[in-house]
Structure 1
Amino acid sequence: MHVNSSDREIARSKASMTCTVLVVDDDPACRDEYCDALENLGYTAKSAASAPDALQQIVESPDIGIVITDLEMPTMDGMSLLSEISQRFSPNRPIVTLVLTGHSSLQVATKAMQAQASDLLSKPVSAEQLADALRRASAHYFATAYRFQITTLTTRIDPPASRDRASNQGSRPTEEDLQAFTSMLLKFQHNKYKFFDPAVLMGPSWEILLDITDATLRGEAVPASSASASTHVPLSTALRHINNLVEAGLVRRWTDPNDKRRKLLKLEPHTAIAMQRYLETAWKLQPQIG
């Protein structure tokens, strides 16, 4: 697997915002090949020779955020590993799984998706395919990590005990609670302007961009009508803001090949990277609050 110079350039720009990637395969040659490719792309890589070894490493290494696993392994196969990760780890920490298989089929893909795998790659995997899959996985990881962080912060500001007291006694948040929450909102608001031009993100443009980001993280395009509906403004106003995002080079728009009446939207690659950086920085803001 050869990694070209453009992939390395992208990797250098992403190196500071990637989590550790764990490669799980019982074939040592495959493990070495993929670990080398990951490191050439700027990712920190670890490897495991079996599913039990992988589970142990995930327990011991909270920095592992992406797992790439083969399906055909002795003792415990890749599907079982996916199920274990989904049930044991995903509810409590951000972790994204990808599947490598030499026998891709609709049945395999369906089982992998049911086990919450975010991507399925058919062997042999090219450097370009691996790089694209990891970009999507990284974006998904940081978006998930961001949601975990927000949940943690919300719990800290308004812990369950306080919520119970509030429901039982009719109490309201204290001034300190509201000040901390306001500080959090302001920090998130100011943070986005480090990565995007404020003039472009006026009005509902930010809501539209977040909606397209959500779809992009799932590896999907979003219809322009759906992105417009994510706002609370007239359709004509929302479409005007979509035009602004397209003209600013943040969003790609094209005609749905299956329905010529419909326009599809997706983040441009550099926008996806900027959103990853925004999400990571926003995630790191939490310890500074309150």
Structure 2
Amino acid sequence: MSNLIDAEDGMITSCTVLVIDDDEACLREYCEIIDSLGYAHRSASGAAEALRALTEDKTIGIVVTDLQMPGMDGMALLAEIDARYTTARPIVTLMVTGFGSLQTAVDAMRQNAVDFLAKPIERDEMVSALRRASARRAQLLGLWKLSALQTAAAKGAQPSDLIREISGGGLKDFVRNIILLRRKRMDFLDPELFSDPAWDILLELTLAKLENTPIPMSSACAATQVPFSTAFRHVGNLVASGLVRRWKDASDNRRVMVELEDDTHAAMLQYLTSIKG
């Protein structure tokens, strides 16, 4: 099965699920459930094998691990994942155990596990846990992208020079196509798998900036296809991060306008040009 990758913008939005358990029967059962949900997946029988997989496969973004394993146990594995990989890419972890206790659950959460599942796991429990993990990873991915854009903008040349150089009609069509593909995808696949409101807003505002036309905040929120309150919060985060500016329309005080800051626009153009080829 191929990985669920956001091919039109070159970034991994959904991901491969890595499942770790030293019990072959449990490992096979979890993989069958995950496969039936349409997720790409890999399996490992222990922590060492899992760490090798994480190093080799950059598409792994969700890890489901057993607690009790020989050698390095699940708790130590979560700590190792956090130390080695989470600064390089967003990874969400879930803990599974047949020896559950409140203290174990607390310890797992301290290691940034987003869920704690007790064996035997029902299919519906795994489905719900993976949905929550996917939603959490989407949030982390949005923050990761914002950080990357801020870094790119800080390293860039004069934004106005870059904008004049590469803001031609071909790039406008390219951005329109990315937006269209992201929306079309939701006709066939669960939108929660690809929810990334901050990125959708940035793409919409990039197109508006290329067209030299600020847009109402309501239009930017509508581009996300998530509840307005959620989209509104993401706009606020973008404004607070200095990536987007917001002001009241002088001709209509009831309307709030938004557009990318020049440095953000420059970073977006650098990124889009690099994947456009």
Normalising by the residue count of structure 1, what TM-score does the alignment of the two structures yield?
0.56
How many angstroms does 1:38 deviate by?
Answer: 0.4
**CA distance in 2: counterparts of 1:116 and 1:46, whole angstroms:** 21
**CA distance in 2: counterparts of 1:58 and 1:23, whole angstroms:** 11
SS in 2 for 1:158: helix
Q: Does 1:119 align with 2:135?
A: no
Give the structure 1 partner of residue 145 of structure 2: 149
Give the structure 2 partner of residue 187 of structure 1: 203
Summarize the alignment of residues 126-165 of structure 1 with structure 2, pairs less than 5 Å apart. Answer: 126-159=122-155
**CA distance in 2: counterparts of 1:130 and 1:136, whole angstroms:** 10
SS in 2 for 1:119: strand
Summarize the alignment of residues 158-177 of structure 1 with structure 2, pairs less than 5 Å apart. Answer: 158-159=154-155, 174-176=159-161
Q: 1:287 aligns with which of 268, 271, 275?
A: 271
**CA distance in 2: counterparts of 1:211 and 1:144, whole angstroms:** 18
How many angstroms does 1:188 deviate by?
Answer: 3.7
**CA distance in 2: counterparts of 1:109 and 1:211, whole angstroms:** 33
How many angstroms does 1:77 deviate by?
Answer: 0.2
- CA contact 1:97–1:117 (8 Å) conserved in 2: yes
Structure 1 residue runs of 4 or more that deviate by more than 2 Å after TM superposition: 14-18, 176-180, 182-191, 197-202, 205-208, 210-213, 284-287
Q: Does 1:53 align with 2:49?
A: yes
How many angstroms does 1:93 deviate by?
Answer: 0.8
**CA distance in 2: counterparts of 1:77 and 1:132, whole angstroms:** 24
SS in 1 for 2:125: helix
AA aligned opposite 1:125: I
Give the structure 2 partner of residue 257 of structure 1: none
AA aligned opposite 1:39: D
Relative to structure 1, the CA distance from residue 286 to residue 40 in structure 2 (aligned partners, 3 Å threshold; closer, same or farther) is farther
**CA distance in 2: counterparts of 1:155 and 1:137, whole angstroms:** 27
Deviations 1:27-69, CA, capped at 9 Å, x for gaps: 1111111001100011111100000110010000001110000
Q: Does 1:98 align with 2:75?
A: no
AA aligned opposite 1:93: R
Relative to structure 1, the CA distance from residue 211 to residue 34 in structure 2 (aligned partners, 3 Å threshold; closer, same or farther) is farther
How many angstroms does 1:174 deviate by?
Answer: 3.9
Normalising by the residue count of structure 2, what TM-score does the alignment of the two structures yield?
0.59
Give the structure 1 partner of residue 35 of structure 2: 39
- CA contact 2:98–2:119 (8 Å) conserved in 1: yes
- CA contact 2:92–2:137 (8 Å) conserved in 1: yes
Relative to structure 1, the CA distance from residue 136 to residue 15 in structure 2 (aligned partners, 3 Å threshold; closer, same or farther) is farther
Question: How many equivalent residue pairs?
Answer: 194
Deviations 1:226-255, CA, capped at 9 Å, x for gaps: xxxxxx9xxxxxxxxxxxxxxxxxxxxxxx
- The gaps in structure 2 that reach 5 residues or longer are 7-12, 176-200, 208-217, 235-246, 248-267
Q: Does 1:209 align with 2:193?
A: no
AA aligned opposite 2:147: T
Relative to structure 1, the CA distance from residue 66 to residue 135 in structure 2 (aligned partners, 3 Å threshold; closer, same or farther) is same
Relative to structure 1, the CA distance from residue 134 to residue 113 in structure 2 (aligned partners, 3 Å threshold; closer, same or farther) is same
Q: Does 1:62 align with 2:58?
A: yes
- CA contact 1:15–1:43 (8 Å) conserved in 2: no
- The gaps in structure 1 that reach 5 residues or longer are 1-13, 163-171, 192-196, 214-231, 233-283
- CA contact 2:163–2:269 (8 Å) conserved in 1: no
- CA contact 2:17–2:63 (8 Å) conserved in 1: yes
SS in 2 for 1:97: strand
How many angstroms does 1:120 deviate by?
Answer: 0.7
Q: C-alpha root-mean-square deviation of aligned residues, in Å?
A: 3.9
AA aligned opposite 2:161: E
How many angstroms does 1:133 deviate by?
Answer: 0.7
AA aligned opposite 2:42: K
How many angstroms does 1:153 deviate by?
Answer: 2.0
SS in 2 for 1:47: strand
